Chain A
Amino acid sequence: MLALLKRDLVLATRAGGGFGLAVAFFLILCALVPFGVGPQTEALRPIAPGILWVGALLSCLLSLDRIFALDHEDGSLDLLATAPLPLEGVVAIKALAHWLTTSLPLIVAAPVFGLLLHLPGNAVPWLVVSLFIGTPALSVLGAFGAAITVGLRRGGLLLSLLVLPLYIPTLIFGTEIVRRGAQDADPVTPILFLGGISAAVVALVPFAAAAALRVNLR
């Protein structure tokens, strides 16, 4: 399992652009919003939590089809499926690699982008916390979507259509945490909800993703 994780990480870093692409996309998105809604602080401040979360979600989406597509093309996915490691484990490791290469840089970069959108300072720790809890669910759900669409031509567009509705609960509770943090309200309830969703997704969805992979490898 560790070998697979290491291989995926090395591939992601050496593939050129894959690693920082999501962060760059996130930055561009955050830079576009003020052009759209106007640069005034009072206009940006209330929508900053939502924009940051939607941005993180879209940047995460961007690299989802890479999770299985490359391995499917060169046949290494078939090898992985016949390896002693259960396919559920492969999915979990792949999702973890995706989280490490995409979501972790996003979490690190998010406070800086919060500055661009005039996110109130007291919300910044909550932004990091909410992303930290919520993004594992995004990666695993994305791996599920990628597993369903892996054999398809033009799977990318379908992938976003399938995955984005599944992201809605995570998005709702994630922004709720940041919004409450910005208003100095108690963010414990949404944190518990988001943690519950993440834990359930990480525990259960790899099984569905593995089932989808088996169908596609048949």
Chain B
Amino acid sequence: MSIWEYANPVKFMRSSGAILPWVVAGAAVCTIGGVLWGFLTPQDYKQGATVKIVFLHVPAAMMAINIWVMMLVTSLIWLIRRHHVSALAAKAAAPIGAVMTLIALMTGAIWGQPMWGSWWEWDPRLTSFLILFLFYIGYIALWAAVEDPDSAADLTGVLCLVGSVFALLSRYAVLFWNQGLHQGASLSVAPGERMSAVYRYPLYLSMLGFLLLFLALVLIRTRTEIRKRRLVALQAREARA
């Protein structure tokens, strides 16, 4: 029994169908619980009520990066071992990642307006997220533009590889470009370093919730993609008959 057996679509459908309700339930409990608990925390002495947006902002930002890493891994698996579920999972994950990036950018802007006095700063961290968002858009657009599904999976896989290198490169290039105005430290939430336990535990719960939420969404979307594939195959068979 190796992990590769789950690359078999039938097996994947069966096992993912079995765990999906649990993941959805866990995601609902943790996300709603984490955000609500975060909302009920006392106001910060310096930032007031605006601190509460952190329970949306930080998990979304975390997922925005991790989803791209997951897409990189699944693209590599597709390019090396050609497991279709892997490519479809990458395709399914991309829009979720784009939305997570957008949530992070927008909550950041809403938080930044009262804190920094501006909706947008060309801060390295903000800028690299904007670039990440552009990469997501390009990736999704390429999936949509190529008709043959296998070619699309190949091309987006190659794009994901090159894009990962350049996303990383841009991250550090942007640091170089605008080091003087660096404000990133005010966003840092390294656990145990700056935050008291009052905020830390709801944040952990919320992060777990976002992780499960992503897992639930990506499972649902991957299952939809597989069903779509089957539909196309069935229609093709029908047309031949």
Q: Residues on A close to B: CB < 8 A?
A: 144, 148-149, 151-152, 154-155, 158, 161-162, 164-166, 168-169, 172-173, 176, 190, 193, 197, 205, 208, 211-212, 215-216, 218
Contact = CB atoms under 8 A, between A and B. Distances in A.
Given A158-B142, A162-B159, A166-B162, 10 more contacts: A144-B162, A151-B151, A158-B138, A162-B138, A164-B134, A165-B135, A168-B166, A169-B170, A173-B176, A208-B158
A211 B145 CA distance: 18
Contacts of A176: 176-177
Interface string B111-155: 000000000000000000001001101100110011000010011
B174 interface: yes
Q: Main SS of the interface on chain A?
A: helix
Contacts of B158: 148, 208, 211-212, 215
Contacts, number: 73
B137 A166 contact: no
Nearest to A205: B162
Interface size class of B (residues with CB under 8 A): 20 to 34
B155 A212 contact: yes
Contacts of B137: 161
A152 B176 CA distance: 36
27 contacts: A148-B155, A149-B145, A151-B151, A155-B145, A158-B141, A158-B142, A158-B145, A161-B134, A161-B137, A161-B138, A161-B141, A162-B142, A164-B134, A165-B135, A165-B138, A165-B163, A165-B170, A168-B131, A168-B166, A169-B166, A169-B173, A197-B169, A212-B154, A212-B158, A215-B158, A216-B151, A218-B151
**Residue from B137, B154, B173 having most chain A Cβ neighbours under 10 A:** B173
B161 interface: yes
A152 B146 CA distance: 7
Given A152-B146, A161-B137, A166 B173 contact: no
A172 B159 contact: no
Contacts of A155: 145
Contacts of A158: 138, 141-142, 145
A168 B151 contact: no
Contacts of B154: 211-212, 215
Interface string B199-216: 000000000000000000
A158 B176 CA distance: 29
A188 B113 CA distance: 37
A151 to B, nearest CB: 8
Contact of A172 (B135, B145, B146, B174): B174
B142 A148 contact: yes
**Residue from A190, A205, A212, A218 having most chain B Cβ neighbours under 10 A:** A212
Contacts of B146: 151-152
A198 to B, nearest CB: 12
A176 B180 CA distance: 13
B64 to A, nearest CB: 15
**Residue from A151, A155, A176, A190 having most chain B Cβ neighbours under 10 A:** A151
- A-B pairs with lowest CB-CB distance, top 5: A169-B173, A215-B154, A165-B134, A172-B177, A172-B173
Given A148-B155, A193-B176, A212-B158, A166 B141 contact: no
Given A165-B170, A215-B154, A215-B155, A172 B176 contact: yes
A169 B146 CA distance: 27
Interface string B12-43: 00000000000000000000000000000000
B214 to A, nearest CB: 23
A197 B166 CA distance: 10
Contact of A152 (B134, B145, B173, B177): B145
Nearest to A161: B138
A27 B207 CA distance: 51
A30 to B, nearest CB: 22
**Residue from B137, B142, B162 having most chain A Cβ neighbours under 10 A:** B162
Contacts of B145: 149, 152, 154-155, 158
Contacts of A208: 158, 161-162
A73 to B, nearest CB: 18
Contacts of B166: 165-166, 168-169
A62 to B, nearest CB: 18
